[in-house]
Amino acid sequence: MVAYYSNRLSYKEVEDLVKRISGEKILSDQKIWEIVANKAIEISSKWEQEIVESQQKITKAIEIAPTVDIYEAQAQEILLFVDEVSPKG
């Protein structure tokens, strides 16, 4: 609840809301900030792990040939990446 309302209200307003709903002061605005910050770190860590796993899957799926015969008649597909930096002429 505090994470949801902290996205819409200030921490002090969320503290007052919790007090109004529960009838007593359960959390301070500093504690609400701490809860929200820890939850954000937890979610960010999960996202980071998912990204790393996705990158590992992609890396395993893509095979990079060290040499490519660009004139091979039987080649089905060739991806050629250049950095657009080359000498003149």
What is the span of the domain harbouring residue 46?
A: 1-89
How many residues are listed for the chain in this entry? Answer: 89
Whether the CB-CB separation of 36 and 2 falls below 8 Å is answered with yes
The whole-number pLDDT of residue 42 equals 95
The whole-number pLDDT of residue 86 equals 67
How many domains is the chain partitioned into structurally? 1
**pTM confidence score:** 0.57
Helix axes 11-22, 29-61, angle to 10 degrees: 110
Per-residue pLDDT of the chain (89 residues; tens, 9 = 90+): 898 999 999 999 999 999 999 999 999 999 999 999 999 999 999 999 999 998 888 777 777 777 777 777 777 776 767 777 766 65
Give CA–CA dist 72/87, Å, rounded: 26
Give CA–CA dist 65/84, Å, rounded: 20
